[in-house]
Amino acid sequence: MPELPEVETVRRGLERLLVGAAITGVTCRRRDLRRPMPRNLGGVAIGPVLGIRRRAKYLLIDLPGGSLLSHLGMTGTWRHAAEFVPRAHDHVVCQLADGSHLVFNDPRRFGLLDWIPTGQTSDDLAQLGPEPLDGGFTGEVLRQALAGRKQAVKPMIMDQRVVVGVGNIYAQEALFRARIAPSKLAGRVSPERCDTLVTEIKAVLSEAIAAGGSTISDFRQAGGESGYFQTRFAVYDRAGQPCTICRAPLRHGQLGGRTTCWCPRCQRG
């Protein structure tokens, strides 16, 4: 489900629910997610929750002995409930000290859970590029990453080594706002457009976070609330509908194996 705004929304929800709470036990009901889950979670991922962090699309629940790392993949959710009432695809159940439960559910099992002991680093986090909303992500940084590349710009900004957190929805929205054709070769995007693209990536992600993320299919915040940014999509899933700026019909095609929508008139940069 989740790109950066949705994961950040989940992080805020978990922070509100869990900081000050304590995990007293972890039960794995099924461990074969994207890769097998570690066997010892029940023995190590316990204690008072010290904080909830996000890096790229990963969530980290900080505990005294280390951090519980999770990635939601396409369909993962964290659900908090007073009572654990099992549902299909509930893979992990954390018991909390107040008797409530935190459940990781993921039908497609593209998600991931792991344990990072305090002081150790994670291979999952090692190769990640800059956070898009940090000051370190600038037009110059993007220019360097795109320079000389013969790949289309859209798959490049979805590459987590270039910049993290941008997935298929927000890549399309940011390119539309920056007026860049998704199929434009990365190395041919002008320096000015690189600046604009960075500005628009930051803008669209910030606006989506402020809206509580986008609710598509089953995305929910940890408390069950919905985001509403999906009402503001300009191009995503709008093939054939009129461009919000020029009214030309939006086109769609495949790019890097992913469906992509754009305005053939507005996006020529």
Residues with a catalytic annotation lie at: 2-3, 57, 258
Least Å distance, CB 266 to DNA, is 21
Q: Please state, in angstroms and rounded to a whole number, the distance separating the CA atoms of residues 235 and 255.
A: 15
Least Å distance, CB 110 to DNA, is 4
Least Å distance, CB 94 to DNA, is 22
Q: Please state, in angstroms and rounded to a whole number, the distance separating the CA atoms of residues 46 and 41.
A: 8
Tell me the DSSP string of 20-87: TBEEEEEEES--BSSSBPPTTHHHHS-EE--EEEEETTEEEEEETTEEEEEE-TTT-EEEEESS----
Q: What is the dihedral of CA 253, 255, 259, 262, to 10 degrees?
A: -60
Least Å distance, CB 13 to DNA, is 14
Element counts in the chain: helices (H) and strands (E): 7, 11
Toward DNA, which CB reaches closer, 77 or 95? Answer: 77
Toward DNA, which CB reaches closer, 120 or 150? Answer: 150
Q: Angle at which helices 191-210 and 4-18 pack, to 10 degrees?
A: 40
**Which residues bind to DNA, rule: CB under 7 A?**
1-3, 6, 34, 56-57, 71, 73-74, 88-89, 107-110, 124, 149-152, 155, 158, 160, 167-169, 186-187, 213-219, 256-259
Toward DNA, which CB reaches closer, 96 or 220? Answer: 220
End-to-end CA distance of the chain: 29
Toward DNA, which CB reaches closer, 19 or 28? Answer: 28
